[in-house]
Structure 1
Amino acid sequence: MFSVKKYIEEVQFNLEKKSNELIEAFKSLKNVQFPNDTAVLFAWSSFSLDDVTLFLEAHEDMFNSVDPVEEDSDYTSSVILLNSILLYDADTKSFNEDEEKKFFEFYSDNDLEKVTIKEYGNWVKKCFDRANTTLNEPIYFMILDEDEVLNLVTGEWEDPVEVEL
């Protein structure tokens, strides 16, 4: 009934629909002024299969965001890159209770959360590359509460504890 290949294809299809928006959001960062104590930027979101928002936040290090800036300042410490990203929409499948249970077993048995995060990260990296934007700070993609971050310049997943800025 379910296949990993079809699941991944749907995630990729849903992300691709938002590519132009994310590329333009990355391009617009050249006009954003971040506070002087910004050492690194994070494109981040929490993990959900639907209604995901992708934020960009300025950090003073790998773990601490810069202090919020005053409203009338020319600087900003965070930006919404994209609203309402749909990764996979189980609701449109009209699953009955048994099918829904089987889907979540399939999802769990195939470690699809990890697979989805990697697909999402690779898509963010692809859009960042296509935006061809040069930033003064390193930039990473992360999902809250996950152990690794994706360096959007190198394409490498890294342990943030080991990153030297």
Structure 2
Amino acid sequence: MFSVDSYISSIKANLHKQSDLLTENLKKVFTYNFSPKTDLLEFSAFMEPTRFEIAIRLFSMDKEANEVFDNGTDTKVFAGSIDVLPEVVYYQLNENQLNDFFDFYEENEETLVQQEQKAVADWFRGCWEKAGGDTISLPSYFVFSDDYKSYDLKNKQWIDDEEKWS
């Protein structure tokens, strides 16, 4: 009934529908005047697997892994965080298929998590590049919330999360 390939293909198709929205939101972000305290940008994906939703939020960060805030002293400077993609559906399923799907997912979890993350990261990187992400001077990373690795958007490779703070 379910297959790894069809599941991943469906995720890619649903994410593709959100490409214009994400790209336009990233273009806006790339015009921001970031606080001089900002050392890097972290784009965090929050996936809700029981509702099949994803949201992406930008955090301005310093080298100590702290979010940078500006306390409103200069309205022309951005510090803090902002949604670059509101919660959107990345997979659709009929309610009567949920139990079968979750059985399938549990049986294939190792493969599925890896391929889900690759599909989402590749899609995000494509939108980031299309929006002009290479023009940003700050190091930029894509991460999945609560994960131990980061995708370095400038060098196009996965790194251990601790590397970006050193």
TM-score (norm 2): 0.86
Look up the equivalent residue of 2:47 and give its one-letter code.
Answer: F
User: Is the CA contact 1:62–1:160 (under 8 Å) kept in the aligned structure 2?
Assistant: no
Q: CA deviation at 1:68?
A: 4.7
Alignment root-mean-square deviation, CA: 1.9
Question: Are positions 1:85 and 2:83 aligned together?
Answer: no
Distance 1:62 1:101, change over 3 A: farther
Gaps of 5+ in 2: none
- Read off the aligned partner of 1:125 and give its amino acid letter: R
2:143 matched residue in structure 1: 142
Residues 34/40 of structure 1: CA separation in 2 closer, same or farther (3 Å cut): same
Structure 1 counterpart of 2:152: 151
**What aligned pairs does 1:23-34 form with structure 2 within 5 A after superposition?**
23-34=23-34
The answer to whether the aligner puts 1:3 opposite 2:6 as a matched pair is no
User: For structure 1, which runs of at least 5 residues remain unmatched after alignment?
Assistant: none
Letter in 1 for 2:163: E
What whole-Å deviation, never above 9, does each CA across 1:115-163 have from its counterpart, x for those lacking one? 2122111110011111223112011111111111111122211102123
Which residue number corresponds to residue 52 of structure 1?
54
Task: Name the % identity.
Answer: 26
- Name the TM-score, length of structure 1 as normaliser: 0.86
Partner of 2:63 in structure 1? 61
Q: Which runs of 4+ in 1 moved over 6 A?
A: none
Q: How many residues align?
A: 160
